[in-house]
Chains A and B, each alone.
Chain A
Amino acid sequence: AQSVSQHNHHVILSEAASLELGCNYSYGGTVNLFWYVQYPGQHLQLLLKYFSGDPLVKGIKGFEAEFIKSKFSFNLRKPSVQWSDTAEYFCAVNGYTGTASKLTFGTGTRLQVTL
């Protein structure tokens, strides 16, 4: 069965600190990978996605993620966080068998950025 693990449940950082959120998945086939962000009281918005090609993908607001296939990982990074990055972050994997797929989310990481 397909699953996604996010290792950090709650992260507190000072503004300008660097961020890395871990994400590992289990699925033996082809995957598309995503990071979504949910600001308080809002719906999920896409930060970045990996479908194929360069394993280092850049998203909005200065976020990036690296797909390491051998480690089944897709960690999210940002060199310098801002107070406005306070939100919940979800890693998701879409695992394919032919054209059938299922989009599975991790349990989320709550990021709190302090001034």
Chain B
Amino acid sequence: DADVTQTPRNRITKTGKRIMLECSQTKGHDRMYWYRQDPGLGLRLIYYSFDVKDINKGEISDGYSVSRQAQAKFSLSLESAIPNQTALYFCATSDLNTEAFFGQGTRLTVV
């Protein structure tokens, strides 16, 4: 089983719809992250969390919200999806002195 699991893997949704991307990890790490990847822009940080009670905005948090339901679960929501949120989304987890471990990604298309 993968250390970091993202669901769904692919999603097409309509403009204005609410959508949630889910992430769970079995590494036992405290830190979890959500990134989006766009061609030529690399990975940009949306939100990150050091533990269940500590959630921080990244560089591009507008239009997104997150929930850390448990140490192992970190979900990303788009309250009202728009086409420029079409991207590849990655969840990752790490600890204080480890590298980040990534999920397989969710390809989201907003039409």
Q: Is A115's CB within 8 Å of the partner chain B?
A: no
Q: How close is A23's CB to chain B, nearest CB, in angstroms?
A: 12
B40 touches A9 (CB 8 A): yes
Contact B33 A43 (CB under 8 A): no
Given known A-B contacts A43-B90, A100-B50, A32 and B105 have beta carbons under 8 A apart: no
**For B104, what are the chain A residues with a Cβ–Cβ distance below 8 Å?**
42-43
Closest to A109 in B: B42
Q: Which of B50, B58, B90, B96 contacts A44 (CB 8 A)?
A: B90
Please tell me if the beta carbons of A32 and B97 are within 8 angstroms of each other in the complex. yes
Q: Is B43 an interface residue (CB 8 A)?
A: yes
Chain B residue nearest in CB terms to A42: B104
Q: CB distance B40 to A105 under 8 Å? A: no
Residues in B whose Cβ lies below 8 Å from that of A101: 31, 96
| A-contacting residues, B76-111, CB 8 Å | 90, 92, 94, 96-97, 99-100, 102-105
The secondary structure that dominates the A interface is strand
Contact between chains at A103 and B45 (CB < 8 Å):
yes
Number of B residues, CB within 8 Å of A: 24
A interface size (C-beta, 8 A): 24
Interface string of A95-113 (1 = CB under 8 A from B): 0000111111111100000
Contacts of B56 in A (CB 8 A): 102
Cβ of B35 within 8 Å of any chain A Cβ, yes or no, is: yes
Smallest Cβ distance from A106 to chain B, in angstroms? Answer: 6
Which B positions have Cβ atoms within 8 angstroms of A?
31, 33, 35, 40-45, 48, 50, 56, 58, 90, 92, 94, 96-97, 99-100, 102-105
Add 17 more A-B contacts to A101-B31, A101-B96, A102-B58 (CB < 8 A). A43-B90, A43-B103, A44-B102, A99-B50, A102-B45, A102-B48, A103-B33, A103-B45, A103-B48, A103-B94, A103-B100, A104-B45, A105-B35, A105-B45, A107-B40, A107-B42, A108-B42
